[in-house]
A and B are shown apart, each in its own frame.
Chain A
């Protein structure tokens, strides 16, 4: 699990957006699972985002008028999977985050922690290579935050690369590798002193993490 700590929210968010293919790269290179993303058009970037990246946002970003099953279904729909395959994956993902019994509930009927677990289920249902978690515990109380972190650690232990962005030193301490970003300068604290410039470089670093 890679932890990214940034004093400024601007750089931190920008880094997540570039890493998550939500923003276009204006310079440098970004290899995601061996694919150079800079030259890709919107359709190819969207497909790559769908297949390789899972997002967990601070504010959960569940779609309020879809129940948990349908929320988790969203990325799978764009993958073009069969109904049976989608159902299998959705149920497995919700089972994994402990929400199997609540798949017909709507987000408003759940606690913050449960909503974030659902967001994690949505992120992992597509079996991504990279899970981008932007302040995933920022809106949760400490007990729920621990629950969510435990879940992320489990996923990481099973082989998913988790990039977790936070300014919380306690959470940072649990990561295997830490990258600090200060005024756009990224410092990789994994192996002594290593300073890389700009968010794009950090994105590249994360893709190989």
Chain B
């Protein structure tokens, strides 16, 4: 019967093209606006590392001086180099990585390329396994390389192709800020969104091109970037081990909630130990947030995007209310036909389904047009200067959501008119003839 109802819907559209077009347009605009904002929200609020986001934790300690201490106040969002290196050495978590962002001059050895700067990450060995960084060749470096400041590097696919014209760059030498490093791995295109492991470089920043052991970066005095907070009256090298400055992000991988609890206890013990040693002036004040908690805490999704989404869904609701009115008009106009159908043996259920199929067909048509409008809306978003603009793309999931939304919206809009029309006594409809 569905095929018959679809055929009847087609005839109905042909009979009243203008009214049908109006309904399709109303749904399309509502769906288009909703899907544009929902896609942006979906991209921005996505889990950047699905399946692992609940096992990766961001570590915070509070090494600041006693003055200004307020119990329960949020500790700094980065660690001192001394703390980061101590936690790395302790190795209490399943995996752990210290890191900071930086940039370095790359001097191509081939002809035709001049020196350029590449964004880098100075980190430790577990970084790659912790964050499931995909490799096309080679691998990350070992913990021993961290310990001895090995002259090694991992580079991005784009950098490998730029420098060597091939992704087969493992074993080759890359000249970084005047130093020769051996390439040990080439990573595939990788851009976690949001850029959760370091939000200092922009919530939706691009991935790095160059990865070097943190120890090596300090030996070679590679330039670093990002926030740095110091206290007291620091003198000398602010990046030195003893400097009273926080500038290093520290992530740990903890496979179970029990391990996370244990690690939190460990951080408290560590803080108390530092307090006893006179290094820390404040009572233990630690935080251990997993990826999703960290992104929530940092309010990564812009407020205006959430607001726009609500407004767009409000608009969709207005479009739906209009569609309800138009469908009601359309179905009422066909009361006589529906009365005849009832007289000829159609049950209320049959009429209800027939009209709902018609409303659903309008929804599918609205979905197709809405998809085009969403695509146009996202193209407009991509022209904006915000750092997430280029991410605004429809993926298969959102494509399916567009149709589901259009269908659900039209069925919802069709419910009341269809119910109303199928309840009318056929004799009344026939009398009106």
Interface set of A (CB-CB < 8 Å, partner B): 13, 17, 20, 22-23, 42-43, 46-47, 49-51, 55, 57, 59, 61-63, 65-66, 74-75, 77-79, 122, 126
Report yes or no: B431 in contact with A13, Cβ–Cβ below 8 A. Answer: yes
**Contact residue among B15, B341, B343, B427 (Cβ-Cβ distance under 8 Å from A65):** B15
Bound CA span A50–B346, Å: 8
Report yes or no: B344 in contact with A122, Cβ–Cβ below 8 A. Answer: yes
Measured CB to CB, the closest approach of chain B to A81, in angstroms, equals 12
Q: Which residue of A lies closest to B7 (CB)?
A: A70
Bound CA span A75–B343, Å: 9
For A51, the chain B residues whose CB sits under 8 A away are 345
A-B contact count (CB 8 A): 67
Report yes or no: B340 in contact with A46, Cβ–Cβ below 8 A. Answer: no
Most buried by A among B14, B339, B346, B347: B347
B: number of interface residues (CB 8 Å): 25
**Which residues in window 402-433 of B have CB below 8 A to A?**
425-427, 430-431, 433
**Contact residue among B14, B337, B342 (Cβ-Cβ distance under 8 Å from A22):** B342
For B348, the chain A residues whose CB sits under 8 A away are 42-43, 46
Apart from A47-B347, A50-B344, A74-B340, what 14 extra A-B contacts exist at CB < 8 Å?
A22-B426, A42-B349, A46-B347, A46-B348, A55-B343, A57-B433, A59-B433, A61-B343, A62-B340, A63-B337, A74-B341, A75-B345, A78-B344, A78-B346
B297 at the interface (CB under 8 A from A): no
**Contact residue among B339, B347, B425, B430 (Cβ-Cβ distance under 8 Å from A43):** B347
Q: Which residue of B lies closest to A77 (CB)?
A: B4
Report yes or no: A46 in contact with B346, Cβ–Cβ below 8 A. Answer: yes
Most buried by B among A66, A75, A122: A75
Bound CA span A51–B344, Å: 9
Report yes or no: A46 in contact with B431, Cβ–Cβ below 8 A. Answer: no
Q: Is the interface of A mostly helix, strand, loop or mixed?
A: helix
Most buried by B among A59, A66, A74, A75: A74
Q: Which residue of B lies closest to A22 (CB)?
A: B427
**Which residues in window 54-113 of B have CB below 8 A to A?**
none
B277 at the interface (CB under 8 A from A): no
For B4, the chain A residues whose CB sits under 8 A away are 77
Report yes or no: A57 in contact with B430, Cβ–Cβ below 8 A. Answer: yes
Report yes or no: B336 in contact with A23, Cβ–Cβ below 8 A. Answer: no
For A42, the chain B residues whose CB sits under 8 A away are 347-349
Bound CA span A165–B256, Å: 82
Report yes or no: A61 in contact with B340, Cβ–Cβ below 8 A. Answer: yes
Report yes or no: B430 in contact with A61, Cβ–Cβ below 8 A. Answer: yes
Measured CB to CB, the closest approach of chain A to B42, in angstroms, equals 42
Measured CB to CB, the closest approach of chain A to B6, in angstroms, equals 13
**Contact residue among B11, B341, B427, B433 (Cβ-Cβ distance under 8 Å from A17):** B427
Measured CB to CB, the closest approach of chain B to A140, in angstroms, equals 15
